[in-house]
Amino acid sequence: MSTSRTREKADKVTFTQTEVTSAITAGDTAARAGRKNLIINGSMQVAQRGTSLTGLHNNTNYLIDRFSFGGGTIDGRVTMTQDSDGPAGFANSLKLACTTADTSIAASDENYIIYRVEGQDLQQLKKGTASAESMTLSFYVKGNAAATYTAEFYDADNTRQNGQTFNVTTSWNRVTLTYAPDTTGAYTNDNTIGVYIIFWLNTGSNLTSGTFTSNTWASSVQANRVSASNTSFFDSTSRTLNITGVQLEVGSVATDFEHRSYGEELALCQRYYQKYGGASDWTVGTSANYNGSSNYLGLSFINEMRAAPTGSWTNATGWTVLNAGSAVSTTAVVMEGVTTNRAEIYFTTASAMTQGNASWVRGSSSMFIYLDAEL
Amino acid sequence: MENTTAWITSCKSQESGWLINGNMSVPNDPANRDCADVLQWIAEGNTPAPEYTDAEIAANTQAETNATSQAYLDSTDWYITRHAETAVAVPADVTTARAAARAAIV
């Protein structure tokens, strides 16, 4: 700034408008330094469930942690992968590739990438108050060809919506969308969904036939949710979309993406999803034989989870219970008494265990236990 | 919108939730998204099966009997060993109980 400041009088310094704007922006950025990104795993580096899912079109499909692809039943299909392509500084992106086109989009069709945020993590937006804050969503995108999609915030607590379109090119570009503050409808301060962030990729006329008003909060009207200019991701089997660097921050300025370590992101993701196993002879834990065929194991979770999770397992049979000098194979598995940090796993075996003995339970490299507390 | 119940192909009651599709325990926690789906599935007129069928209850009962009986046999084997090695008689009540335990094991 010193190069252009002019000393008019001994006690007066003049700045250009550009310098003033730059200084305000710098101050705004500095004020929001530190933990600022409300999005977990925005750089798409954590993918506990795997790196590829094929044949997707409906329901909720998680691959990269916290981000899901979903929608209703249509004829088109996509493959979702954790891709190694990314803009400078990003090792991963979420990639969707259309594998089966569908050019006959029904009125009720809809497909999207969706991210869900707990209401208690949105309180700093002061939504529903006179001092509500604006917020800025930024992300990097790239496609096989030019496309236009809609990024919508959908307030689950108050059924309100606010969407904006964004453009995709064949190069990595950072999209920055600032959303107006909403003085109506506060987010409930709890562990359930406060807001859905929806990247609409394909929609029928039920969502586009009304009046789409960009960057305007309004009570939800289905027909107004998505821009009529929205590209259909299913228009061609050559259609692709990569996205990464997703950041949501309070205020009207998109600051540099907040990179967090893999371990930190993983820990944040484990509030919503945990995966155990996959190694040879991995230890499930110590357990006790209730009787000759019933074995109970207490599982302590890695992290406290958002809610009592759904527990699932790859195999009912084949878990090894080491007991009194012998190995017994399981015939059934059930999880009971699940809380946000513990669960009881009940293994059934053939009548070959000694009642009252302690046991040791192992899994093989292809055996997993999953805990799912996603929103 | 997404069909939230089509993924449920079987449902059994559990003490604190439901066993879905044989490999998934869904807790009865309203904040769990799968719980919401199960409650919707029930609201659609479906009824969870009991946690255990009659056959499973019988099998579990037999398994407990087997374990208890085997434990008794294990704990009294020394009478048999002592008799074989030293000719000390096995008490009659032990002999009777061991016979009952062997008969109980299926």
Q: Is A110 on the interface with B (CB under 8 A)?
A: yes
As a whole number of angstroms, the distance between CA A217 and CA A162 comes to: 5
Q: Is the pLDDT of residue B2 over 80?
A: no
Contact (CB<8Å) B63/A71: no
Span A199-237, pLDDT tens digits: 999 999 999 999 999 999 999 999 999 999 999 999 999
Per-residue pLDDT, A1: 41
At B63, list the tokens.
């398994």
Span A177-200, pLDDT tens digits: 999 999 999 999 999 999 999 999
Q: Is the pLDDT of residue A24 over 70?
A: no
Per-residue pLDDT, A25: 59
As a whole number of angstroms, the distance between CA A98 and CA A77 comes to: 6
Residue closest to A252 by CA, chosen among A160, A133, A139: A133
Determine the average pLDDT of the residues in A114-129.
98
Q: Is the pLDDT of residue B48 over 70?
A: yes
Q: pTM score, two decimals?
A: 0.86
Say which of A73, A191, A313 has its CB closest to residue B31.
A191
At B21, list the tokens.
């599709």
Determine the average pLDDT of the residues in A344-371.
91
Share of chain A above pLDDT 90, in %: 82
Q: Is B104 on the interface with A (CB under 8 A)?
A: no
Provide the 10 A C-beta neighbour count for residue A97: 19
Kindly state the helix (H) or strand (E) to which residue A17 belongs, with its residue range: helix A17-31
Q: Is the pLDDT of residue A296 over 50?
A: yes
DSSP string, B44-98: TT--PBPSS-HHHHHHHHHHHHHHHHHHHHHHHHHHHHHHHHH-PPPPHHHHHHH
Span A133-166, pLDDT tens digits: 999 999 999 999 999 999 999 999 999 999 999 9
Share of chain B above pLDDT 90, in %: 70
Say which of A58, A192, A312 has its CB closest to residue B2.
A58
Q: Is the pLDDT of residue A303 over 50?
A: yes
Question: What ipTM did this prediction achieve?
Answer: 0.82
Q: What is the DSSP secondary structure assignment for residue A168, as one 8-state letter?
A: E
At A193, list the tokens.
């969904």
